[in-house]
Structure 1
């Protein structure tokens, strides 16, 4: 990633989070929004610094949807990304402005635990997997191989279970049950994407079928 691109991300993403949280809330003084914003920036910033040290190639891999990404995956992303993005503004409308739902106070720390767990597992997966891209494809030009270290020893798609934690955790951290609706939609589509991607890898990536026999679970050990 060029310095200009890195600076753009460093400035643009926090600004986007500000708009997504505080514009729907109707006030810049909404304390839960500031707490979540601080946690997200701190946690993703720390994860980004670690990745820049241990696996800097991941920034080029994840910079955009790469050529060769499956058309079905582009169609899924057209629904997953808006649903994922909607979690924050829906939560802000609910908990910050209209108070449609009342989340018990003790659920909020659980939301933050889920958010931090999601960021940590995603960072761990990206640290050991140089082929971690935003789109589903076989990366023949990069000589893609099976990764079976780190969290991939336990489940075949740790980045996806981490995303589910993040979606649900953000909704609860902001104190909104209504935000669980887009979180659930994004999660359901991500589970579908997991199944389709797994089927592609088993048929087209050398060694993946053997790996799938060793590591039986896609997302949740003992369940699926």
Structure 2
């Protein structure tokens, strides 16, 4: 399983690097190298932690984004997300380097790097609390899927989505692209749409989820939404 983890991280590094540097038209883009290295190092750290603490969840996380048990609408959604993510990386490469359309101070890039790290570090708390945190929307009957209301789930219904907001904003800040930042609001709206659809599926198919959603009011950020 660790071999598969390293292979997937290496492939992701190569694909995202090709998109960023291909759009930029050069390999001389320090911030992109730093972003790729930070993402990869954190992914390795989180993956190895999961391999030790919950290998079943790691196996679930390493499955493809299109699965037979998955909600049909979620397959379409994740395919669109994959395309949008690739297009977003290309856009930031064009903007920040090839066209030089954005000028961002170094301190904002540092803040962006910190946000990316906090997102991945905080995700460990999500995985520690929720052994059913699959990347796709489905009910995991074979794994005894139950409602989780401990850890960050005691405060928001989708803590991983909430933390993902840090990654979505931190990435364009670190890469130095205002065009990338401008894409964040529609991406957040798309994530919110998925959260609402996911809750409907869970309320219909997972015993106790409806009561949980009534007890925990907020989805992403306590006191906000």
Fold agreement, TM-score > 0.5: yes
2:107 aligns with 106
Residues 156 and 217, structure 1, Cα contact 8 Å, conserved in 2 = yes
- Tell me if the contact between 1:55 and 1:128 (Cα under 8 Å) persists in the aligned partners: no
Q: How many Å separate the matches in 2 of 1:209 and 1:74?
A: 24
Q: Which residue of 1 aligns with 2:180?
A: 179
- Mark the runs of 5 or more structure 1 residues left unpaired by the alignment: none
Distance in 1, matches of 2:9 and 2:148, equals 29
Q: Once the two structures are superposed, what CA deviation does each residue of 1:64-120 show, in whole Å capped at 9, x if it has no partner?
A: 233221111112222222222333222111112211122233322221122112212
Q: Which residue number corresponds to residue 55 of structure 1?
A: 54
**Which residue does the alignment assign to 1:35?**
34
Superposition map of 1:1-224 within 5 A: 1=1, 3=3, 5-62=4-61, 63-64=63-64, 65-224=66-225
Unaligned runs of 5+ in 2: none
SS at match of 1:106: helix
TM-score where L is the length of structure 2? 0.90
SS at match of 2:179: coil
3-state SS in 1 of match to 2:45 = helix
Equivalents in 1 of 2:103, 2:10: separation in Å? 33
* Residue 30 (structure 1) shift: 1.2
Aligned equivalents of 2:124, 2:87: Cα separation in 1: 23
Deviation at 1:2, TM superposition (A): 6.8
Aligned residues: 223
Query: How many angstroms apart in 2 are the aligned matches of 1:7 and 1:213?
Result: 40
Give RMSD over aligned pairs.
1.8
CA contact (8 A) 2:9 2:40 kept: no
- Residues 2 and 48 in structure 2, CA contact (< 8 A), matched pair in contact too: no
User: How far apart are the structure 1 equivalents of 2:60 and 2:127?
Assistant: 10
Cα deviation, residue 7, structure 1: 4.2
Per the TM alignment, residue 156 of structure 1 is displaced from its structure 2 partner at its CA by 0.8
